Structures are given as C-alpha cells and as structure tokens.
Amino acid sequence: MKIQQTILDMSAFSDKLLQSHPEVSVYDQVSVPEVHPKSILVSNQLSAQDLVSLFVEKNAKHWVQHNVNWFESDLLATGQICTDPMSFFEKNFQLVQSECLGQLEIKINDLNDKPRMKQEVVKFVQQAQSQNVLESAEAIVEELYMNAIIDAPREAKQKGYASEAVKPAELCLYRGKDQLAITMVDHYGSLDCSKFIRRMNEVYTQGAGEVMNRGPGGAGLGCVIIFENCMALYLGVIAKKMTKVTCVIPVGFSNRQRDKVLKSLHKIEVSGK
C-alpha cells in the first residue's frame, strides 16, 4: 500500500502491510485529492454521524478508522477488497482475523423461517456470554433479515428483474476471539449501496423520528440500527446477482468500552456482467 501523508502515524505498521497491494493508496480525508476505487480513507476520531456524512461528501468506497486492536488487519482486508473486489463475495472471505471459535450458517427460504433463524442465532451468540453482544446481534439480524427477505425481492421486482424464485438467502455468523461477524447474502443483487448510505445520513442529520417512513414498506431506520450496533459495516453488491452485507461486532467489551470503538464503513459494487 502507498501510505500517503495522513494525520495518523503509520510508521509503525508492518512491512507486510506496506508491501501488500501496492496499487492501493491510503489517505486521510484532508489530504485525499480524489477518491478512486483503490483509495482507503482513514481517521481516528470520527463519530458515526460524522463518518457517514463525510463518506457521502467524499463519495468514498472504504473508510477505516483506527482501533488499535484491529487497524492493521482491517487495512489488509480492505486492501484485498480494493485489489480484487470479487474476493469479498467468496464464501470463505473472512473479515474476522482471529481464530474461529464458532460458525453458524442458516438458509432462509421465506418468512416462515424467521422464528427458527432467530432461535439458532440466539443459541449461537449466547456462547459469547455477553448481553450487549446478544442484543446487537439480534437487532442486526432483524434488519438484515427484512432487507434480504422483504426489501430485496421487492426492489428487484421494481427494477424489472428476478420475478422468479431465486436461491435462498444465507445468514452466516463467525465468532473470533474478540469479534463476531454477521453476514447476510441474498441472490437478488438489488441493494443500492449509495442510497443506503445516503439514507443513513438523512436519519443521522435530520432525526429518525422526522424522516421515518410512515407509509407502506420499510420504516427506513434499519440502516442506522445496523450501523449503531456494529463497528464495521460492509455493503457489497454484484448487480442483479448477489447482495452481501457483513456487520462486525466487538466481543468481550462492556457497553462503555464499546462506545469508544470507532466505526468503519465500506461500499463494494461490482457490475453484474
């Protein structure tokens, strides 16, 4: 990676980081001349609201904030995605770098599968023995489920494709030493990542109650509920083929400690051709 001058002291980072993905450039938001697909923006003190606002303003693709436990591994994973975006969509692509302490995969065919899905998620996450992790996982899974099972087919139909049944959605949970990754994959590929992030910005800047959709369809708050409950959000779409959303939750931290963990945001868009 080419580390451009940033407000962060990157000099301590390993050779492995600096020699990997030479075509990827790392900037902070002040020094970045223009964001291109192989730019990673970094920072160390942005709130969720400010991160989202700047992400929209800069039309960013990847923004990694500095959390001492994970910064280097986050940059390496992001560098991999910048170099080869399709790698993100591979089944075994892992964003949690520590040893796997447990894995769960659930196929979700339709609305009838929700109770079983929730039951299995609760049983799996309870192994982490943390109320805040359980609450976050449940909140995230609720919203990812609605996006994949209700919103995705509706959006695909509105866009005029995928009128026939597609493969079931897949929910995957991966538990590492200090992180839990929750991934939902649907095979509609109808997520508009930029619209999703712009909606987050609306909710943060104008207030959830003010912009909530009171009519049919979703309430439009799920995007922020998801982001508030995770430390990293990856929005990936292969147009008309697949949507993959991954949320990473820190594990083993109190609520007060979790509040200090900075958030990161990623948008991975690949043409469906």
Partner 1 sequence: MSKYQVNLENSGGVLKVSVSGVIDEDIDFSTHSIAGQSAIEFHLGNIKSINSCGIREWIKWVSTAAGASISYHECPKLIVDQINMVQGFLPAGARVLSFYVPFYNDDSGSEKNVLFTLGKEYDESGAVNPPSQTDDSGNEMEMDVVEAKYFKFLKK
For the CB of residue 118, give the shortest distance to partner 1 in the complex, in Å: 8
Smallest distance from partner 1 to CB 257, Å: 9
> Among 31, 59, 126, 213, which residue interacts with partner 1 (rule: CB under 8 A)?
213
Pick 153 or 222: Cβ nearer partner 1:
222
Smallest gap, in angstroms, from Cβ of residue 266 to partner 1? 22
Q: Is 146 in the site for partner 1 (CB under 8 A)?
A: yes
Residues 6+ apart with CB under 8 A from 133: 125, 180, 249, 251
Rounded-to-integer distance, Cα 82 and Cα 20, Å: 11
For partner 1, what does the binding mask look like between residues 87 and 106, x meaning CB under 8 A? --------------------
Region binding partner 1 by CB under 8 A among candidate stretches 14-22, 42-50, 158-166, 252-260 = 252-260
Exactly one of 37, 102, 207, 272 binds partner 1 (CB under 8 A); that residue is 207
**Smallest separation (angstroms) from partner 1 to the CB of 114:** 8
Q: Which stretch binds partner 1 (CB under 8 A): 59-67, 94-102, 173-181, 209-217?
A: 209-217
**Site string (151-190) toward partner 1, x via CB under 8 A:** ----------------------------------------
Task: Residue 85: name the closest of 237, 231, 230 by CA.
Answer: 237
Site membership for partner 1, residue 131 (CB under 8 A): yes
| Residue corresponding to tokens 């982001």 | 227
Contact 244, 152 (CB under 8 A): no
Torsion region of 191: left, alpha or beta (phi above 0 gives left; psi -120 to 50 gives alpha): beta
Phi, psi of 169, deg, nearest 5? -75, 160
Helix extents (H) in the chain = 15-19, 48-58, 71-83, 114-125, 131-146, 152-158, 193-206, 208-211, 222-228, 255-259
- What CA–CA distance (Å, rounded) separates 113 from 148? 13
Binding site for partner 1 (CB under 8 A): 115, 129-132, 135, 138-139, 142-143, 146, 150, 207-210, 212-214, 218-222, 224-225, 228, 252, 254-256, 259
